Amino acid sequence: MRFTHPTPVFDANASSGASFGDLPEWDLTDLYQSEDAPELKRDMDWLEKACADFAADYEGKLAGLDAKGMLDCVLRYERIDVIGGRIMSFAGLRYYQNTTDAERAKFFSDCQDKITTFTTPLVFYTLEINRIPDEQLDALFDANGDLARYKPIFERLRAMRPYQLSDELEKFLHDQSVVGAAAWNKLFDETIAGLTFNVDGEELNIEGTLNLLTDPDRAKREAGARELAEVFGENVKLFSRVHNTLSKEKEVEDRWRGMPTPQTGRHLSNHVEPEVVEALRNAVVAAYPKLSHRYYALKAKWMGLDTMEVWDRNAPLPIEEPKTVDWETAQKTVMDAYADFSPKMAEIAEPFFTKGWIDAGVKPGKAPGAFAHPTVVDVHPYVMLNYLGKPRDVMTLAHELGHGVHQVLAAGQGELLASTPLTLAETASVFGEMLTFRKLLENAKTKEERKTLLAGKVEDMINTVVRQIAFYDFECKLHDARRTGELTPDDINALWMSVQAESLGPVFNFMDGYETFWAYIPHFVHSPFYVYAYAFGDGLVNALYAVYEEGDADFQDKYFAMLKAGGSKHHKELLAPFGLDASDPKFWDKGLSMISGMIDELEAMED
């Protein structure tokens, strides 16, 4: 079951500010009218009975089903997934609109508790499927084409076969989840949303303070960075406890399951081979000198600095004129870029703006960052932003809208097959960003404007590729170290710093307090080892975009077919029509060379 919580993927750091036009808010009534809507009670009651009936009809009997019986079973399971997903999407999205509202938090928790209880009898489903011999399942697929469509789901379930526990233990873990990782996730979210920062007499939330790190005024950037360090330092024991507990819980479960590495579970859920991830990681680390080290040395020169401080990393360039982009302009920029690629893409994106599918404003208690949540296939996705009118916020809109378009297209696969592995989930989002960037670059009127755009894109790619692989290395080190015992805040700080200098390069000086900046990264808490998916997605899109630029006449059709496939195909099968193969180490070099090519152009502008 994938609906125990909405697991939003927080994609970007936005921030706080003034009015940028009429910012849209979510209309969640397509899910339910309210938390006490009769339809919600009806669905909750239906779900309780449907789960009990499913267990009564099928437990202990899956191995004896014929092809039609197995198809009926899968379709009933899928319907349960839809109703549970709808309820949890509504509860979760309301909660993320205001994580400090006690009523919303209680409603979210209560829904989670009930659904966990209702679905405990269904744990047998995966366990029994994994005990059916391969040849018996293959015969069922051969006998019924409609059932064969679900073969990728069975393959994904059966990838977990070597790591499956007894029925009783699996039920225990399912029941226990609401007071395990889910509870620590919630503590983290509520703590982060409730933090306050005092900068020059102004009280800000985390979004507003992170926003200062991109301010043109260096003194403001420094003040923001030092206040972040101060507040993270004051709370570091709590964040350390969250990380210690979650990594230990994971280690215990992995050990019982016999998983060879802490990353194994993520690779299995991503449907990607460990050696492919290792090839990506190694290619990026080897490229640090020609990517981040080279770019930041160039940026230091532009800024007239011998040494950069951490608060200079995302600073605007000295030639960059401070610019605020209102919401209407942001919408037009992204929609024009999408329409230039394909009118169909713009058509799919349009309802997000017109039907209340985007929540864009910065509000007290609202979750930080941005995400696109697919809800369920018979409703539609919702996009969350914290829009502050910065040019990078326009790119965040392009990114999240890309996710939304992907989720709309994949919905045709049905609930079980629509969900895309994380490694491929970033494809449409990063491609949407690239389309928007190329549109802006095409319209640049001066050398300075082109330089600013190129530098901004290089920084975004470094943040997506270099920074995320450094995050991945930090997580690998953290989970390995936790296996030997409890980690103090200083231990975790040291692991964080061990990857920062290596990835960012010798031009950086790291202020006292920066060692705690691991504390606010939600991915480490919500989705361990998620972060490599960003680098995977960026490298994949760079390679895809190179094919597009080469003028493949059928590119748009192939691209939409790839998005429509959702989770029904492996990355090898999806990339084959474009002549690409992610298991080839040269594939990653192709993607990374696009970034180094942009840095080449920036260096040439110095002459």
User: What is residue 13's predicted lDDT score, i.e. its pLDDT?
Assistant: 40
The model's pLDDT over 362-407, given as tens digits with 9 standing for 90+, comes to 988 998 889 999 999 999 999 999 999 888 899 999 999 999 999 9
Measured N-to-C along each axis, helices 102-119 and 181-194 cross at an angle, to the nearest 10 degrees, of 170
pLDDT, mean of residues 154-171? 87
Helix segments in 258-326, DSSP class H: 264-270, 274-287, 292-302
- Tell me which CATH code domain 31-179 carries: 1.20.140.70
Q: What is the CA radius of gyration of the chain?
A: 24
SS3 assignment for 9-23: CCCCCCCCCCCCCCC
Q: Which percentage of the chain shows pLDDT scores above 90?
A: 74
Residue 91: count other Cβ atoms within 10 Å of its Cβ: 25
Instruction: Tell me the pLDDT tens digit for each residue of 251-294.
Output: 999 999 999 999 999 999 888 899 999 999 999 999 999 999 99
Residues 6+ apart with CB under 8 A from 167: 123, 124, 127
Is the distance from CB of 312 to CB of 303 less than 8 angstroms? Answer: yes
Element (H, E) at 213: none
Instruction: Please state, in angstroms and rounded to a whole number, the distance separating the CA atoms of residues 154 and 138.
Output: 11
Mean pLDDT to the nearest integer, 328-335: 95
Beta-carbon contacts of residue 532 (< 8 Å; ≥ 6 apart): 277, 280, 281, 423, 468, 469, 472
pLDDT, position 6: 39
Phi-psi region of 505 (alpha: psi -120 to 50; beta: other; left: phi over 0): left
Closest CA to 368 of 64, 2, 126, 9: 9
Residue 86 · residue 376 · CB < 8 Å? yes
- Residue 9: phi, psi to the nearest 5? -100, 115
The per-residue pLDDT for 428 is 93
Percent of the chain exceeding pLDDT 70 equals 97
**Which distant-in-sequence residues (6+ apart) come within 8 Å of 344 by Cβ?**
556, 560
pLDDT value of residue 231: 96
pLDDT at position 248 is: 96
Which two tokens mark 308?
């950069």
Residue 527 pLDDT exceeds 80: yes
The stretch 494-516 carries a mean pLDDT of 96
**Which strand (E) or helix (H) includes residue 372?**
strand 371-373
Mean pLDDT, to the nearest integer, of 132-155? 95
Read off the pLDDT of residues 532-573 as tens digits, 9 standing for 90 and up: 988 998 889 988 998 898 888 899 999 999 999 999 998 889
> Closest by alpha carbon to 381, among 93, 84, 107, 41?
93
Note the pLDDT of residue 37.
Answer: 97
- CA separation for the pair 565, 583 (Å, rounded): 20
- Give DSSP secondary structure letters for 36-102: T-HHHHHHHHHHHHHHHHHHHHHTTTGGG--HHHHHHHHHHHHHHHHHHHHHHHHHHHHHHH-TT-H
Is the pLDDT at 19 greater than 70? The verdict is no
Res. 161: pLDDT tops 50: yes
C-alpha 206/C-alpha 13 separation (Å) is 9
**CA gap 544, 396 in Å, rounded:** 20
Helix runs in 120-217, H state only: 124-129, 134-143, 145-148, 151-158, 167-176, 181-194, 206-211
Please write the tens of the pLDDT for every residue from 423-437. 788 899 989 999 999
**Of residues 388 and 478, which shows the higher confidence score?**
478
Task: Classify residue 33 by its DSSP letter.
Answer: S
Mean pLDDT over 581-603 rounds to 89
pLDDT at 23 over 90: yes
Give the residue from 34, 373, 5, 9 showing the smallest Cα distance to 186.
Answer: 5
The H-or-E segment that residue 202 falls in is strand 202-204
How many residues make up the chain in this entry?
Answer: 607
Residue-level pLDDT at 324: 87
- Does the pLDDT value for residue 249 go beyond 50? yes
Scored b (16 or more CB within 10 A) or e, 430-465 reads: bbbbbbbbbbbeeeeeeeebbbbbbbbbbbbbbbbb
CA distance 486 to 499: 20
pTM (2 d.p.): 0.81
**CA 45/CA 120 separation, integer angstroms:** 15
Site of tokens 């152009």: 601
**Residue-by-residue DSSP string for 382-440:** EEE----S-HHHHHHHHHHHHHHHHHHHHGGG-HHHHPPPHHHHTHHHHHHHHHHHHHH
Residues 6+ apart with CB under 8 A from 597: none
What is the end-to-end Cα distance of the chain in Å, rounded? 58
The mean pLDDT of the chain is 91
Q: Is the pLDDT of residue 357 over 80?
A: yes
**How confident is the model at residue 1, as a pLDDT?**
37
Handedness of CA 244, 249, 252, 254 (dihedral sign): negative
Looking at mean pLDDT, say which of 12-16, 501-505, 538-542 comes out highest. Answer: 501-505
- Output the CA torsion sign for 13, 16, 17, 19: positive
